[in-house]
């Protein structure tokens, strides 16, 4: 049985940032995120953590069998702003970012939701 990919997930492969949540926006939306949508995501994040970064990126991945272009939104929170609550903060951001992405995608015709 194949599992559907998560729309947002927590990544902890390195020390900084302490929390890194990637939103597979383009996979589900079929488009790039807009600046207004990034601002919509920032509003509830401000209530959750005092300092964070949002990166909208276009990634191009290549291998011998082809190439892929991905549009991701990445939320990063430095360690000093999450203390001992890294996992709890990451989980809250994943939930928040998932709901935000679903709302953004549903607001436009031809969305996956």
- pTM exceeds cut of 0.85: no
Using the predicted structure, report yes or no on whether residue 109 has a pLDDT greater than 80.
no
Over residues 63-87, the pLDDT tens digits come to 999 998 889 999 999 988 888 899 9
Supply the pLDDT for residue 6.
85
Residue 6's SS3 state is coil
Residue 105 has pLDDT above 80, yes or no: yes
Give the model's pLDDT for residue 12.
Answer: 67
Do the beta carbons of residue 92 and residue 48 sit within 8 Å? Answer: yes
103/25 Cα distance (integer angstroms): 11
2-43 tens-digit pLDDT: 677 888 988 766 667 889 999 999 989 989 999 999 999 999
Say whether 25 sits in a helix, a strand or coil. helix
Q: Determine phi and psi for 55, rounding to 5 degrees.
A: -115, 125
pLDDT number for residue 91: 96
Q: Which range has highest mean pLDDT (8-17, 44-53, 100-109)?
A: 44-53
What is the C-alpha separation between 106 and 112, in angstroms, rounded? 7
């Amino acid at each position: 049985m194949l599992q559907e990919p998560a729309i947002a997930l927590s990544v902890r492969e390195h020390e900084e940032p302490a929390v890194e949540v990637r939103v597979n926006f383009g996979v589900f939306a079929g488009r790039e995120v807009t600046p207004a949508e990034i601002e919509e995501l920032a509003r509830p994040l401000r209530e959750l953590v005092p300092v964070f970064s949002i990166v909208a990126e276009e990634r191009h991945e290549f291998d011998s069998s082809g190439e892929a272009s991905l549009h991701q939104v990445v939320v990063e929170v430095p360690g000093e702003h999450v203390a001992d609550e890294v996992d709890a903060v990451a989980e809250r951001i994943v939930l928040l970012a998932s709901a935000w992405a679903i709302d953004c995608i549903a607001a436009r015709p031809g969305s996956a939701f």
